[in-house]
A and B are shown apart, each in its own frame.
Chain A
Amino acid sequence: MNPSGNSNPERGKTLVLLLTLLNMVLVATISALQVDVTVRSNQANRDSQYYAIQVTGSLVQTGAQSEFDLNTYSKWLADTQQSLVAGYSALQRHLANDQAGYERLTLESLIFQAQADQAKTLSVLLTDPAYAPASDQASPNISAYYADINANSVALVQKQNDASDAYHRWNNKSDSYVAVLTVLAIAFFLLGVAQMSQPNIRLLFSAFATGVISIGFIWTLIILIF
């Protein structure tokens, strides 16, 4: 029987100290990484919320703008139609030899036409070549108009989504690092128990701690890569 196996109570303590040092370096590094991803997560969350505020503003603006532009177009359309109807009615009264009716309706037609002319000068849908009807019978290009005025909102929503995705990505990493730190805290506990134990048990606990440290290290690598 070799008595040296149990007679040296210091056996394995240096190994435990080295493992503790390794674990501490790992914990320190992961702590720094955790702080870094938490900062990135906070910044992405902030950007996401800021873009969301800007999107609401952009939608308010485009809502007011489109309401004005469509009302102006609608006003032009109504006045133009009323002018045409009054002019046609005037012709009918003229054919019926009703001179007074003819003159009254002609004047009415002129009034509506003047109003329509003014509405047209104020309508972006009727004056901008990008949207204006190609002919009198055609309608303005409403689709192009909406695409243009909503372009800013769409771009902001895209930025908001990107920032929101980034926030979730960094936040998940931050949570994962906290989990790794918890695992490494268990390793600290195992190493502490190992240090206080009998030499044979010490090696067993050291092996357990090494396993836990390895899990934490591999997990950290996975978080870093993905």
Chain B
Amino acid sequence: MDNPQGKSDRLAIWIAVLTALVSLTTALAAWRTAALGSTAGDLIYQGMLNAVKKQAVANEDWRQAYQEAGYARDYLVFLNGLLIRENSTDPATQEQAAQLRTYLLPGMKSLATPLGTDPVYFTTGGLLNVQKRFNDLEKQSSDLSSLDPQASFSQSDNYYAEQRWLVVGTILIAVSLFWLGLSQLSHLRPRVLILVLGIIVYGVGLVWCLGVEVIFFFLRGGVL
């Protein structure tokens, strides 16, 4: 036959068990919240590394494109002068032009290729299309130039968003811990009422956290 003291003791045991469970859940939720922030930070770090690599390649490609543009300019300018020499009526000048075309021009042309020799690299206004040459160089180094830092940043934003929402659930669970502790310590008559309130808050917090996890799991395409 149960007496009031026995009921109170059993309730105290259940509250203790529940408090332990909620403490564990709080710890798990806090760990997950911190882990989300850490993952977001890692993605930012990865994005920064990719941004540096991508920019380093772009810098090198711009340098090379304009270096080639300089060679192309020198070649085209020299070629125009050479044509005047070749069209000269002076035999000595013609001979000099032939020697230049044979021995000097090939080397200059080699350096100026393809920017100064391929018509696709000229704009309709006659300028060298350095941008197109840069684009082609970027395609050649696509393993680095195709790195996408923004993709990492978007992912980090997603993890940060989940962290924000999960904090709310973690706080709810932590608040329920307070109520459970209060019901354990309290000798007030509404002890059971306080306990029920704690369980409700805990349930809301737990459902909230699980809901946030599930929603963001699907938003990330099945990635935790």
Contact = CB atoms under 8 A, between A and B. Distances in A.
Given A43-B157, A46-B47, A110-B84, A31 B171 contact: yes
A56 B58 CA distance: 11
B157 A53 contact: no
A21 interface: yes
Contact of A42 (B33, B40, B70): B40
B157 A68 contact: no
Given A35-B167, A46-B156, A111 B48 contact: no
B175 A24 contact: yes
Contacts of B180: none
Contact of B69 (A68, A107, A117, A118): A68
A119 B37 CA distance: 57
B31 interface: no
A46 B62 contact: no
A64 B66 contact: yes
Given A53-B55, A112-B81, A114-B84, A127 B125 contact: yes
Nearest to B156: A46
Interface string A62-81: 00110110011001000100
A65 B62 CA distance: 8
B127 to A, nearest CB: 6
Chain B interface secondary structure, helix, strand, loop or mixed? helix
B63 A28 contact: no
A68 B85 contact: no
B151 to A, nearest CB: 13
Contacts, number: 124
Contact of B77 (A54, A64, A115): A115
B62 A114 contact: no
Given A57-B59, A117-B80, A122-B76, A127 B126 contact: yes
Highest count of chain B CB atoms <10 Å: which of A53, A68, A117: A68
Given A60-B63, A79-B77, A127-B125, A53 B51 contact: yes
A28 B51 CA distance: 37
Interface in B82-109: 83-85, 88, 90, 93
B66 A119 contact: no
A21 B37 CA distance: 28
A46 B153 contact: yes
CB-CB nearest 10 A-B residue pairs: A64-B66, A118-B80, A28-B171, A111-B81, A57-B55, A115-B81, A121-B126, A114-B80, A60-B59, A39-B160
B178 A124 contact: no
B44 interface: yes
A61 interface: yes
Nearest to B67: A64
B215 interface: no
Contacts of B79: 118
Given A28-B174, A42-B44, A65 B58 contact: no
B214 to A, nearest CB: 21
A36 B162 CA distance: 11
B70 A71 contact: yes
A72 B84 CA distance: 20
